[in-house]
Copies of this chain bind each other. A is one copy, B any other.
């Protein structure tokens, strides 16, 4: 297969971790006789530095012409600390999601057997957790009208949803539930928000089309608690943009490190693959950034194109690296010299020699 992949490393640890994902994809291409080409483009704070624009036109067109986008991370503490900045790195990420119409963000939350003890949660609590979060990604308060009064004393944001925005992701989430454990949980705040009531109404309407799927409805505050108390009760979680952002980052505590969480952002025409962690500027260029989230995002890219065997091999490599403690310091209390690159190299080696790879 020929795949033309747009590469948007972005800021902070973004370039380091995507470099490992690229390494892994290249190894896969080699072993399976695919042709993967990569075209780099600017986004985020580094794009602002170079062009004044967090999402240059050229980046948009590179992404639109690509078969898939591999995204690193965006953000910089200098903008975090400056609420007055008019141009912000996040506009690059939100812009590309919108431009490519990536309305469904899929975030798997899997408790790896070899990492159970790394979690802040008790092992018996999280064992066998396997959740797919379907987060709506191009609507809601992320994209509603914003207002700041002239005198700077009043500010507002609008959370708006339209029927079609809810319907399309709802169908995808139901289908995912059907291929899994037949459970779907809608998370909203329908006891307060009109937009949440629209979600609840539409999901209720659609549910009879998937009669084998059991649907639950719960409020975001309750979900934030239940996710920690009884994570195994969830199969597919469907939710709007902001609640999905919060719940998925919270769910990283189940997995043991946010450095492990991959995601796929899917639209009707385009697809982007991005770790859920941010730019972690402080950790940049120290060799301590965990590349697994980016590598697993690359595995989701392979899934997306039906390259199941390839994706499995990448995941096996990841599993093996976890089992052998070839992991960055966020997960490692056995070895203290495993860098970002070493993890990437190990998984690359594994792909080339699945039966012989060990720590060297």
Contact = CB atoms under 8 A, between A and B. Distances in A.
A208 interface: no
Copy tally for this chain in the complex stands at 2
Contact of A148 (B153, B194, B250): B194
Most chain B beta carbons < 10 A, residue from A147, A157, A160, A197: A157
A197 B83 contact: yes
B156 A120 contact: no
Interface stretch (A15-23, A55-63, A224-232, A292-300): A224-232
A78 interface: no
A274 to B, nearest CB: 14
Most chain B beta carbons < 10 A, residue from A122, A156, A198: A156
A198 B221 CA distance: 24
A193 B157 contact: yes
A154 B163 contact: yes
A337 B252 CA distance: 38
A249 B81 CA distance: 28
Contacts of A194: 146-148, 155-157
A29 interface: no
A198 B122 contact: no
Given A83-B201, A121-B121, A225-B250, A195 B155 contact: yes
Interface string A113-148: 000000011100100000000000000011010111
A191 B80 contact: yes
Contacts of A325: none
Contact of A162 (B125, B153, B242): B153
A36 interface: no
Contact of A90 (B192, B195, B252, B253): B192
A38 interface: no
Contacts of A155: 160-161, 194-195, 197-198
Contacts of A250: 221, 224-225, 228, 250
Nearest to A218: B80
Given A221-B245, A250-B225, A160 B156 contact: yes
Q: How large is the interface on A (under 10, 10 to 19, 20 to 34, 35 or more residues)?
A: 35 or more
A291 interface: no
A168 interface: no
A192 B94 contact: yes
Nearest to A79: B191
Contacts of A322: none
Given A120-B121, A222-B249, A252-B225, A156 B195 contact: yes
A200 interface: yes
A349 to B, nearest CB: 32
Nearest to A159: B157
A157 B146 CA distance: 12
Nearest to A256: B229
A184 interface: no
Interface string A274-318: 000010000000000000000000000000000000000000000
Nearest to A230: B120
Interface of A: 75, 79-81, 83-84, 88, 90, 94, 120-122, 125, 141-142, 144, 146-148, 152-163, 189-195, 197-198, 200-201, 204, 217, 220-222, 224-225, 228-229, 242, 245-250, 252-253, 258, 278
Closest 6 CB pairs of A and B: A156-B160, A155-B198, A224-B250, A83-B197, A221-B249, A146-B194
19 contacts: A84-B201, A90-B191, A90-B192, A120-B122, A121-B121, A122-B122, A142-B192, A144-B156, A152-B201, A153-B162, A153-B163, A154-B163, A154-B198, A155-B194, A156-B159, A156-B195, A220-B246, A224-B224, A224-B250
